[in-house]
Structure 1
Amino acid sequence: MNYDTVAAISTAQGEGGIGVIRISGDNALQIADKIFNSISGKKVTEMKGYTASFGKIFENGEDIDEAVALVFKAPHSYTGEDVVELSCHGGLYITKRVLRAVLNAGAAPAQAGEFTKRAFLNGKIDLTEAEAVIDIISAKSRGAARAALCVKEGALRKKIDGVKNDLLSQAAHLSAWADYPEEDIAEVTVDSVIETCDSAIKCLQSLLDSYDCGQTVKKGIDTVIAGRPNVGKSTIMNLLSGYEKSIVTDIPGTTRDIVEDTVTVGDVVLNLSDTAGLRDTDDAVEKIGIDRARKRLEQCGLLLAVFDNSRELDEDDYNLIESAKSVPSIAVINKTDLDNKLDIKYISKNIKYIVYISAINGDGRDDLTKAVEKIAGTQNFNPSEGVLSNERQRIAVKNALDSVIEAKNALEFGMTFDAVTVSIEDAISQLLELTGERTSDEVVDRVFHNFCVGK
């Protein structure tokens, strides 16, 4: 395919050791030659693929910066086209100045995600692998990064290809047997079709079952830390954050609004909210914070309900325990370094997961991590199996699964093989759309719309 040669800054906008300007397209090497002089005197167009050359970027006879030119020849490049990457000194002015020189030499500005889009259009990656690129960039935890990398390396595609190829073989057999009865073609049996359907259903259902867990690892859980005043919520917030995010004092009501942070607990990202202590108060400002805390508690994906081991349960604690019944919750018994006065039996009857900590001493964080992973369902999360990355993929798999189930039901109800073939072909179409082998330009544009420029 013939595309314009495009260029963009591929590193983050800001100060850094290096900045990379990527050029991709049929004229990438010729454009680089117009603004890059190597110390050796060798032109970029004379360089072999996967080689680098040190030199200077210039424009109109003026040296702009020192740089290293790295050449990738088609089709052995990220985009499948000729690519030159110019590594100059990092910084807003220098990188933009070098990019301007490249554009003035004949390149067009790359659109958001255009390099990865070209990789997809040139058959270097499928659509699921392209979507994994942005997941790698935005990963907030080790688990999220590993899951995205496995998808980028084809773990999901291999699963989908296995199901798709089985269905294609079965559909081809059904069509051939129906259309060419005079030929010596093996008879299609109900058992063989059901066996193919059962295998596909098992794989597709497994992918759907792991979706929520994968999203938890990828996006995290909106988590509220709640409890009565001076129970240690802010200390726990600081313990999980690793630094003093919330103000900690012995004065009840110190936290008057919601303090937020994002932390990684094991393989789970928690979008934490440290809320105002739950109690009745005449303080107008504190009351606003408490009302916000109660509203946030109702909407959260995980509640860390904090109790003081050294104090008996009061009305505020009982109200919190009641609220914990409606959301996934962990009872965090704090101040275990002090004598026990808390009715832990009552808490355990109402909240399944209990963790004992001394936030002031830093004890119990590992136990809290295990409880979070267990309640999030990520303790046995295996990213190498391939997981669905987004709603587009989930819907495609769900539609494919429904079509396969429909095919199996048609067989069991005694319908003709023609009706079964239609359902199997519908399932194949959904899987082809998932991988991008058969999809509309609108879907492709929507996928790459969320990418950053330069990737």
Structure 2
Amino acid sequence: MQTTIAAIATPLGTGGLGVVRLSGPRAYEIAARVFVPLSGRDIRRQKGYTALLGRVERTLPNGGREMLDQAVALFFRAPKSYTGEDAVELSCHGGVAVLQETLRALLDAGAELAGPGEFSKRAVLAGKMTLTQAEGVMDLINAQTRQGAAAALSAMDGRLYRHAAAIRADLVDLAAHLAAYVDYPDEDIPQLEEGVLSDRLQQAADQLSALLQSFDTGSMIRNGIDTAIVGKPNVGKSTLMNLLAGYQRSIVTQVPGTTRDVVEDRVQLGEVTLNLADTAGIRETDDLVEQLGVQRSREKLERAQLVLALFDGSVPLDEEDRQLLSQIGDKPCIAVINKQDKAQRLDVEAVRVQIPDLVTMSAREERGVEELEQAILRKLRLERIDLQNGLLINERQRQATSRAAARVVDGLDALRAGMTYDAVAVEIDEAIAALSELTGESAGEQVIDAVFANFCVGK
């Protein structure tokens, strides 16, 4: 028999309201031992989608009762609940002690403490949502930007699931036709023309390739953009870091080489989240400590998803600037011409030849931040994200899609090499299995456990 679980469903802290959630076959029975309606009703017979005002109480060792809070109980009847089970939610006052004592009372009354994401896990196992929708729930909880919330909502709305399911359905149709033709040669089953089979496999390959390309966008929205601020010493890297972070994150002085190691922080810049690294000034130096910092700066430059290359607009380009321009290569990069509060001597067009995306600003006077945000959105193509087919937002989804894409391509290669339809069908079946794992229909217990291990308790 399924256990009845309980957990605090809202963040612990001081607030007007906090919710303790109870779900399982004994939810009403256990709630009745803790919640006493002011109306005197027997809540074990309470209808779903109703609410009652009452007291939260616990039983003392001597048999007496102690009031913990006044609360509103919301009731849900299976299967019309989030988990598909009977469920009760107690909306208490939002103090930490109140919520913890209410949860303890429910556990003492017979409930078991929910594991991470167990409510959503039960919803998936009950068919109330798909695995990709459940992952969208967690992303919505963690979303810090409008774009992040929109991407999570598209997953919750089932767009990724429907897109993957449509590709899978077409592959299933192909597999069924091939199987019927191969297994029943004496039946009057028309042969699937090679050209038609090739076209449909190519269409699936193209769709899966486009889905894989969405992973980088989804990952940046979900996890933030690994961004390196680079430049020679004393161009204003640390001042920019502090401006974007909103506080004194890096030490700022007039002495070149002050920053001798990589200083990192996660900052919110309008609609994007930057995993920002203020690097040591890239230059040749005899200082051993600074050399180590410069080496780490070069490593950050290599791994960055986005580079903000800073130049001092008040001085002409020099050899150190030119070396930086040559080291950036084909990395996604925005040139930031800083110190616009001073007389300008930099040859901006010489920089633009190497880095077409360019903004001017004064980090000291906090001018140009909005222009920098818009430049980042344009550079990474985040200003208009197409969520029609959903986005791949985590490594599990990427790996399943990658396996499906590889198998479809293998099937195409087998077909073009003149191999039998049996060989092609094997590859199609493997692609179908990978897509079923993506959507959750055939995801094993270990996969499902791994997904919900990252959820918060209470969701």
TM-score w.r.t. length of structure 2 = 0.91
Shift of 1:23: 0.7
Question: In the alignment, which of 62, 65, 71 is matched to residue 69 of structure 2?
Answer: 65
Question: In the alignment, which of 348, 351, 354 is matched to residue 347 of structure 1?
Answer: 351
Paired residue total: 454
Pairing 1:450–2:454 present: yes
Letter in 2 for 1:377: R
Question: In the alignment, which of 390, 396, 411 is matched to residue 392 of structure 1?
Answer: 396
Question: In the alignment, which of 75, 80, 84 is matched to residue 76 of structure 1?
Answer: 80
Asked whether the 8 Å contact 1:49–1:72 carries over to 2, the reply is: yes
Q: What does the per-residue CA deviation read over 1:8-43, in whole Å, with 9 as the maximum and x for residues that have no partner?
A: 111112222222111110110111011000111123
Pairing 1:300–2:299 present: no
Question: In the alignment, which of 206, 211, 214 is matched to residue 207 of structure 1?
Answer: 211
* Gapped regions of structure 1 (runs ≥ 5): none
Q: Give 3-state SS (helix, strand or coil) of 1:17's partner.
A: coil
The residue that corresponds to 1:425 in the other structure is 429
Question: In the alignment, which of 156, 162, 172 is matched to residue 160 of structure 2?
Answer: 156
Structure 1 pair 289–180 and aligned structure 2 pair: CA distance change class (3 A): closer
The residue that corresponds to 2:91 in the other structure is 87
Structure 1 pair 74–289 and aligned structure 2 pair: CA distance change class (3 A): same
CA distance in 1, matches of 2:173, 2:303: 47
Asked whether the 8 Å contact 1:147–1:384 carries over to 2, the reply is: no
The residue that corresponds to 1:224 in the other structure is 228
The residue that corresponds to 2:62 in the other structure is none
Q: Give 3-state SS (helix, strand or coil) of 2:411's partner.
A: helix
Shift of 1:55: 0.9
CA distance in 1, matches of 2:447, 2:152: 20
Mapping 1:36-435, distance limit 5 Å: 36-60=35-59, 61-246=65-250, 248=252, 250=254, 252=256, 255=259, 257-278=261-282, 292-325=296-329, 327-435=331-439
CA distance in 1, matches of 2:197, 2:232: 61
Letter in 1 for 2:67: D
Deviates more, 1:66-75 or 1:231-240: 231-240
Asked whether the 8 Å contact 1:5–1:26 carries over to 2, the reply is: yes
- Percent of aligned pairs with the same residue? 48
The residue that corresponds to 1:4 in the other structure is 3
Shift of 1:326: 6.5
CA distance in 1, matches of 2:299, 2:186: 71
Pairing 1:30–2:34 present: no
CA distance in 1, matches of 2:411, 2:263: 52
Q: What does the per-residue CA deviation read over 1:218-272, in whole Å, with 9 as the maximum and x for residues that have no partner?
A: 2122212233344222332243334554455555555555443322335432111
CA distance in 2, matches of 1:321, 1:208: 31
Deviates more, 1:404-413 or 1:19-28: 404-413
Structure 1 pair 179–284 and aligned structure 2 pair: CA distance change class (3 A): closer
Q: Give 3-state SS (helix, strand or coil) of 1:424's partner.
A: helix
CA distance in 2, matches of 1:189, 1:284: 69
Shift of 1:174: 2.2
Structure 1 pair 89–282 and aligned structure 2 pair: CA distance change class (3 A): farther
Structure 1 pair 278–413 and aligned structure 2 pair: CA distance change class (3 A): closer
Cα RMSD between the aligned structures?
2.5
Structure 1 pair 304–43 and aligned structure 2 pair: CA distance change class (3 A): same
CA distance in 2, matches of 1:283, 1:58: 68
Structure 1 pair 409–11 and aligned structure 2 pair: CA distance change class (3 A): same
Asked whether the 8 Å contact 1:235–1:359 carries over to 2, the reply is: yes
CA distance in 2, matches of 1:13, 1:361: 39
CA distance in 1, matches of 2:409, 2:239: 52
Runs of 4+ in 1 over 6 A off after TM superposition: 280-288
CA distance in 1, matches of 2:8, 2:447: 26
Asked whether the 8 Å contact 1:265–1:372 carries over to 2, the reply is: no
Asked whether the 8 Å contact 1:143–1:383 carries over to 2, the reply is: no
Shift of 1:73: 1.1
Structure 1 pair 113–321 and aligned structure 2 pair: CA distance change class (3 A): same
Letter in 1 for 2:322: Y
Q: Give 3-state SS (helix, strand or coil) of 2:2's partner.
A: coil
CA distance in 2, matches of 1:372, 1:324: 16
Structure 1 pair 369–93 and aligned structure 2 pair: CA distance change class (3 A): same
CA distance in 1, matches of 2:303, 2:403: 30
Deviates more, 1:225-234 or 1:288-297: 288-297
Letter in 2 for 1:115: F
CA distance in 2, matches of 1:243, 1:20: 34
Structure 1 pair 331–174 and aligned structure 2 pair: CA distance change class (3 A): same
* Gapped regions of structure 2 (runs ≥ 5): 60-64
Q: What does the per-residue CA deviation read over 1:354-400, in whole Å, with 9 as the maximum and x for residues that have no partner?
A: 21123334433333223212332324422343011212211211111
Q: Give 3-state SS (helix, strand or coil) of 2:314's partner.
A: coil
Q: What does the per-residue CA deviation read over 1:302-361, in whole Å, with 9 as the maximum and x for residues that have no partner?
A: 221211111123344334333323743221101224322113333233333221123334
Letter in 2 for 1:302: L
Shift of 1:159: 0.3
